[in-house]
Structure 1
């Protein structure tokens, strides 16, 4: 277990940025004040510019010019938050690594609590939301439904109300870096590697500025990514549905034969045939769609493309 005792540890804060120019200054002001007071620990902030189209990169470089503890990794385009997190984790050098959002909804004041529990011997310290009052009713409901469904169909259990915000030891980070997936669902990967885990509860704040980059459609696709990343039950269940449907059809066929033998032949109803055809056709299309989700994942993974491409990594000396 990679716990640093009796020496100054390095804590790496990994922060993806995508069009967050308005809050860059506020972010560094709040975060560096908290991290600068960590007992017996130094820190670095790995800022990943995920293809921002505003002035985010320029403001990150301005901040890094005056503080050697800030590092900027500029990706060649927008690869998405999961890829940006992977890039920051790969670039980090800390004994402990903390993924963190740039919008400051997760209070920086929680980080010392995570470090304290890590020093007690835990490899992973989850930051769990005590409540989700900053989310809309619809988002709270769909999030709860997602966790319930995911944990029911997957062998990898994801703690509910725990996002990417957590502390992970260097041993955990090295385990994560061995995972070869191209399509990455980071919360699932964090849970899959295991290790000794505890949690700290906290209350989330409102966004410090800007707006969420996750639309309803993106959240839906993100949920599908999570549901198909760590379980095959959505595929397996169609075997049972098909068997049940075939069994019902066989029983109905026997019923029709017996009724015809007793009552003679009657004229079949158009409505019942039409309904049965639509129902079975719809079930087949849904089943094909589920298979398509998994085939699509196989297709993307088979290409073996990198998760991200770094355009340039900046340090204070300009390299």
Structure 2
């Protein structure tokens, strides 16, 4: 088993020395080959230069310097795609995640899980700007996505490498990794982890991001529920708009007869707007259906994933490429073997 630790960093020059020291106290004792992938997300305080100094003579340290600051999600995505390990662990670079928790998260994967999320049950953050918004957001996300993970936003996670590389990370979707992984068919669990106060550097979190979380949640809900059947979404909304439009149009008839011309005209106007909107939604639905069909028919866009293959002569085959199946595994005979 090979372990890749993916750590995004932005302006953390005061933390990187202590971070690598803490990792070296834990990771080498796990009995696995390992690598540190440190992603500099557009730092301007000398973080990259310090990383270069620390990496000298340490082949296990790999540094990615992004062209500019793309955000934590993009930094994590870049590191995950570069990772060579069969197991990938992600954590923040500000020392609030404790590297001593990494072994138990990785060990939990051996119980058949694909993703083990950290749960910062006791947090050392501001109540007003961090803990309270986080509790509200986590409760809302659990209610709408039916996930059982308590701490959606905790970056400390251990996951199988193949699952990690399939995650469609963009925007600020790193917060929704448990939801996206479950959508991909991963078996997800969580464990309580230690959370430390920030002792160096400045937090990059701002309360204004809460609105962005709501927008991202709407996108995640569409992706996980309707992306493979978009007409269900656009069609249902369009149908109800069309029904409301018809109701408004019918109600205008008695209104005209009773002399309520202003109200009747308003009802007709609403019915026209609603009718055009429902047609527009239906058009969006047809277009999205065509896009989804093209994506599903491509080799890399299939909505299903195979966890393992079984045959009558072999116990289990779980390491084959999904598009390449050797005939002898499944009882086929080459033509020159036929009688």
CA contact (8 A) 2:7 2:91 kept: yes
Match of 1:22 among 14, 30, 34: 14
CA contact (8 A) 1:48 1:84 kept: yes
Q: Deviations over 1:164-202 (max 9, x none)?
A: 3211113323433xx5x6546232433322323332112
Whether 1:209 aligns to 2:200 is yes
Aligned CA distance change for structure 1 residues 235 and 224 (closer, same or farther; 3 Å)? farther
Aligned CA distance change for structure 1 residues 251 and 209 (closer, same or farther; 3 Å)? farther
Deviates more, 1:224-233 or 1:202-211: 224-233
Q: Which residue of 1 aligns with 2:150?
A: 160
Q: Which residue of 1 aligns with 2:43?
A: 52
- When the two chains are superposed, the root-mean-square deviation of aligned CA atoms in Å is 3.9
Matched residues, number = 266
CA contact (8 A) 1:11 1:44 kept: yes
Aligned CA distance change for structure 1 residues 242 and 112 (closer, same or farther; 3 Å)? same
Alpha-carbon distance in structure 2 between the residues aligned to 1:21 and 1:241 = 55
The structure in which a higher percent of residues are strand is 1
Gap regions ≥5 residues in structure 1: 1-8, 299-319
Q: Which residue of 2 aligns with 1:218?
A: 209
Gap regions ≥5 residues in structure 2: 227-231, 292-339
TM-score (norm 2): 0.63
Q: Deviations over 1:196-255 (max 9, x none)?
A: 333211232211311211222334324422321332699789659857976996898799
Alpha-carbon distance in structure 2 between the residues aligned to 1:207 and 1:240 = 51
Alpha-carbon distance in structure 1 between the residues aligned to 2:235 and 2:136 = 21
User: 1:51: how far off?
Assistant: 1.1
Q: Which residue of 2 aligns with 1:116?
A: 107
Q: Which residue of 2 aligns with 1:98?
A: 89
Alpha-carbon distance in structure 2 between the residues aligned to 1:125 and 1:227 = 24
Match of 2:173 among 185, 205, 220: 185
Q: Which residue of 2 aligns with 1:194?
A: 185
Q: Which residue of 1 aligns with 2:29?
A: 37
Higher relative contact order (CA 8 A, sep 6+): 1
Paired residue secondary structure (1:36) = helix
Whether 1:107 aligns to 2:98 is yes
CA contact (8 A) 1:147 1:158 kept: no
Alpha-carbon distance in structure 2 between the residues aligned to 1:42 and 1:223 = 39
Alpha-carbon distance in structure 2 between the residues aligned to 1:121 and 1:229 = 26
Q: Which residue of 1 aligns with 2:3?
A: 11
Deviates more, 1:115-124 or 1:89-98: 115-124
Paired residue secondary structure (2:25) = helix
User: 1:23: how far off?
Assistant: 1.0
Whether 1:137 aligns to 2:137 is no
CA contact (8 A) 1:150 1:227 kept: no
Deviates more, 1:109-118 or 1:182-191: 182-191
TM-score (norm 1): 0.67
CA contact (8 A) 2:123 2:196 kept: no
